[in-house]
Structure 1
């Protein structure tokens, strides 16, 4: 009788539609095997890794059947089965499982890189960007304004494309400051928890705090500060370094408030002015007098704003 390694294929259960698998349903695969001599074992894989029986985790392996209970978006991927007999081991072509979801995968169910606080003066329009992740893509967005005295006032001025929406908002009085809520809907449902954006009165940033020299040598000094409130707008921290009344360096630090000031002369005294800036203006400064190491080393000392 003719013998050969097994011929193997994998498919979804007969009553499942692969294009409409959604979160929360149970999914099962069937491994079809044609073998002579008879098979000695069946193997299930996901993306090349073996799947083990784990009923408590919702994974049930039963010979030629694989059951995934209450699938989530993380269950999506390539699944295959394999079989072995005395003539060899064969694996099926992979089956790509898609899982449609109505919720969003990044905590707190909206894009984690988007700006959360917007500063605006009265009668100043701000464009608030809301980005979400959903499968299928959202078919609708809704926006509301909310504060202690106004409950979910719908916004009319916004647009969207795929998973992205932009609302144009203009505060006209003190009662127009608060939060904007953005929620997306796709064919499976509406976003459970909306994205939240805070609209605050814009102003100049606060002065950087606790500026100290954290290290120094004969040719450089390192100064670190604590960033103050940004005034509701993106801010930069700037430092001016002076010697004998003349500015010799200008530095900015957008991400933090740490400055490494190099190219200095040994044993010299330098005047360092540090302040914050945003689109509304400049904060009051913090000032330091520092001395590089040298034969006439002097300790740095702090002075108040000038």
Structure 2
């Protein structure tokens, strides 16, 4: 069945970009026939401006965008047309000033044992860039870094910890524009009686 263009789902739609930095934004549509003519436009609170420089191939169009001024940020709209008709809902891409990520939130410590524990959090805003999450585990009794690691998601499992020990967990995110504020949690590994009580469903 022939149909006019519609946006493909699951496209990257948020881009954090510094001034005078180039970002390539890809607009993909489903269409039949897939010989699509594209249009691009910048829309923000100050202006609506047509973008004339971009490259298209079939059902994909790519614009290399450089925000040079404060009012260069906003929403880039992309839509296509084929022999059937014009796309009714444009694809939207938010171009925002790049910034360090926000702090993680709602952190939960679980699965505490004699020598291990897990912690997971909700990610904060990425600042428009890819972010990496870091965990630092400090032995609270001697104020010494015991272990550190990085992950693409804010979820960690820590092994080989000494039992009956208090720890401070520092969790933060980082992208190429900087580091988020740290979130600190205090926790501990179990002693042997605590572990046995947990197995028996008792509370100490």
Q: Same-fold call, TM > 0.5?
A: yes
Distance 1:147 1:214 in 2: 45
Q: Deviations over 1:184-242 (max 9, x none)?
A: 12221121111000011111111112333233111221212221111121212211223
Q: Of 161, 175, 188, which aligns to 1:278?
A: 175
For 1:57-136, list aligned pairs within 5 A: 99-104=1-6, 110-136=7-33
How far the C-alpha of 1:146 sits from its partner, in A, is 0.3
- Larger RCO, structure (CA 8 Å, separation 6 or more): 2
Distance 1:259 1:167 in 2: 38
Q: Deviations over 1:28-87 (max 9, x none)?
A: xxxxxxxxxxxxxxxxxxxxxxxxxxxxxxxxxxxxxxxxxxxxxxxxxxxxxxxxxxxx
Q: Is 1:215 aligned to residue 117 of structure 2?
A: no
* TM-score (ref. length: structure 1): 0.58
Query: Is the 2:5–2:80 Cα contact (8 Å) retained in structure 1?
Result: no
SS in 2 for 1:145: strand
* RMSD of aligned residue pairs (Cα, Å): 1.9
Structure 2: give runs of 5+ residues left out of the alignment: 195-204
Query: Is the 1:157–1:169 Cα contact (8 Å) retained in structure 2?
Result: no
* TM-score (ref. length: structure 2): 0.85
SS in 2 for 1:175: helix
Partner of 1:294: 191
Query: Is the 1:267–1:296 Cα contact (8 Å) retained in structure 2?
Result: no
Q: Deviations over 1:222-280 (max 9, x none)?
A: 212221111121212211223344444333332x4222222323222223211011121
Q: Of 185, 189, 199, which aligns to 2:81?
A: 185
Larger radius of gyration: 1
Partner of 1:90: none
Query: Is the 2:20–2:68 Cα contact (8 Å) retained in structure 1?
Result: yes
Partner of 2:149: 251
